């Protein structure tokens, strides 16, 4: 394959509510694809830097400030992602700007959600594919060690239900990008489906480098 006809890279996001298994699936998927000859770079959001720490601290009381801080934290990674996508291979991201749209956007009125989406789309690289882990909030909370019946659990469950609805709305708006994977299924089944999906779409990236 000549350089002029070499496939560009692809960006695949793993998204979902807390406790859905995003990070676990992303790590396992990256490892499995590498075993099968794929050039894969695994990245994650947010960072472990100061801006991300401030964003987490602001999130409960000021979702707009948190959204802006998460966006600023996101910018350096986008430069790296753009460079990676200039060569054949797969960039696999544990969360993207869709997390900000779902988590902070869940607390915004519609006009503010639209403004936030325009900002994120201007700053961030849009994924070619989103592996959306969706399933019962109660199961996700149990995985996190939260009790849905407790005071903290009730508050957490209420918020996560809002976030799940936001992901559903985003999936409806982006039907060609979002693929729903039910996270109540065994991890091995999710992994196998994800590998099959990627190989059917972009088999040319396998052993591309």
In this model, does residue 4 exceed pLDDT 60?
no
Give the model confidence (pLDDT) of 154-198 as tens digits.
Answer: 678 999 999 999 999 999 999 999 999 999 999 999 999 999 999
Domain CATH number, residue 104: 3.40.50.300
**121 alpha-carbon distance from chain centroid:** 14
Residues 41 and 188: beta-carbon distance below 8 Å: no
Query: Does the residue 208 lie in any domain?
Result: no
Look at residue 209 and tell me if it is in a domain. no
pLDDT band for position 153 (50/70/90)?
low
Q: Inform me whether the pLDDT recorded for 205 exceeds 70.
A: yes
Is residue 172 situated within a structural domain?
A: yes
Domain, as residue range, for 70: 3-201
Residue 206 lies in a domain: no
User: What pLDDT is attached to residue 145?
Assistant: 86
Domain count, the chain: 1
pTM of the model: 0.91
Q: Please list, in sequence order, all residues whose beta carbon lies within 8 angstroms of the beta carbon of residue 93, skipping any fewer than 6 positions away.
A: 11, 12, 13, 14, 26, 42, 43, 44, 45, 81, 127
The reply to whether 59 falls in a domain is yes
Q: What is d(CA 22, CA 19) in angstroms, rounded to the nearest whole number?
A: 8
Model pLDDT for residues 99-146, shown as the tens digit of each residue: 999 999 999 999 999 999 999 999 999 999 999 999 999 999 999 986
Give the confidence band of 207 by pLDDT, cuts at 50, 70, 90. Answer: low
At residue 67's C-alpha, the angle toward residues 66 and 70, to 5°, is 85
Average pLDDT, the chain: 91
**What is the reported pLDDT for 2?**
38
Q: Note the pLDDT of residue 146.
A: 60
The answer, yes or no, to whether residue 44 has pLDDT greater than 90, is: yes
Residue 42, in any domain of the structure: yes
As a residue count, the chain comes to 209
């Amino acid at each position: 394959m000549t350089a002029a006809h070499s496939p560009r890279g692809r960006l695949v996001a793993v998204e979902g509510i807390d406790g859905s298994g995003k990070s676990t699936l992303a790590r396992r998927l990256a490892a499995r694809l590498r075993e099968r000859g794929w050039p894969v770079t695994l990245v994650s959001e947010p960072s472990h830097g100061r801006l991300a720490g401030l964003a987490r601290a602001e999130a409960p009381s000021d979702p707009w400030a948190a959204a802006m801080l998460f966006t600023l934290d996101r910018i350096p990674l986008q430069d790296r992602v753009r460079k990676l996508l200039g060569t054949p291979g797969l960039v696999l991201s544990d969360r993207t700007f869709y997390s900000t749209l779902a988590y902070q956007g869940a607390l915004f009125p519609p006009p503010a959600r639209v403004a936030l989406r325009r900002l994120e789309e201007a700053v961030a690289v849009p994924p070619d594919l989103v592996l959306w882990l969706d399933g019962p909030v109660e199961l996700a909370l149990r995985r996190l060690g939260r009790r849905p019946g407790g005071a903290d659990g009730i508050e957490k469950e209420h918020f996560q239900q809002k976030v799940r609805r936001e992901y559903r709305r985003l999936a409806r708006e982006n039907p060609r990008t979002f693929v729903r994977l039910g996270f109540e299924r065994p991890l091995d089944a999710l992994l196998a489906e994800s590998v099959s999906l990627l190989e059917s779409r972009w088999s040319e990236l396998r052993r591309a480098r």
